[in-house]
Amino acid sequence: MRYGIIMVGAAAQRAMPDHRSEMVNQLLFGEVVAMKTMEGEWMKVVSFPDHYQGYVMKAHVLEVGEEDPDVILRCCTAHTSGHATAFCVDASLSPISLPIGARLHNCTDGLFSLLGHQWRLSGDFLLRDGAHSRDQLVAFAQRFLNVPYLWGGKTEWGMDCSGFVQVVYRVFGRELPRDAWQQAAVGVEVHHLEEVLPGDLVFFGKKDEKPSHVGIVLKKGAVIHCSEKVKIDPLDAHGILSGTTYTHELRRIRRPL
């Protein structure tokens, strides 16, 4: 199997090899993919470590060979924590605008290396193995307030509920699956809302169905989530309250940290 790395800020991952096809996900700069098949200007890929499948433009992927993807991922030592720009030190490649959550490989003091080039980062980043608190995580999540909802989106220009959660946790060194129902299997169960801690994940949906929505507990009685846009709403044992209406029914609470 051949592997590659996303070399644009955010590559649209589509259900079919067509620009008009549904965007099911976005792959951010530095993400590792398995290169499956080619169809014209498109490539079918599977992302790592969340194993999400879809089509991206071939021009957005640079091949790294047959190296174990886990080895490549271990070279990712930091993630952008604010909007940033990467400048190729030898100026042989154009600058790249990076969204929050971009993977930085072999990053030290704002310099990182990738595919034989050294890059200088202008912007904020967090080391993957740094010590971070729950309060820091929920404060960081609030940077995304008012980002509009975008199906399949994972950037500060548009994101969906599970993409928001995945990016926030990624920056703080915890890899989560892509979809809400998959994220609901991660970590340990919290049985009562009174026991929640900041950063716990709350899942919503219809009874006897897989969770279809997810948010992050800010504090007891408040959740930050992406529905229409990233926003903060009241939370109780029934679910998310918007005005006098419950918009999402609480189904599960999980603690990934």
Q: Is 213 a residue of the active site?
A: yes
| Cα separation, 80 vs 151, whole angstroms | 22
Q: Tell me, yes or no, if 19 is annotated catalytic.
A: no
Q: Which of 79, 83, 213, 248 is catalytic?
A: 213
Catalytic residue (one of 105, 132, 225, 248): 225
Residue type, 39: E
CA atoms within 13 A on the CB side of 173: 14
* Residue 60 CB partners (closer than 8 Å, separation 6+): 6, 7, 8, 11, 27
Q: How many CB atoms lie within 10 A of CB 88?
A: 15
> Is 88 considered catalytic here?
no
* Active-site residue, from 79, 161, 226, 248: 161
The residue written with tokens 């079918």 in the block is: 44
Give the number of other CB atoms < 10 A from CB of residue 8.
Answer: 18
Q: Enumerate the active-site residues.
A: 161, 213, 225
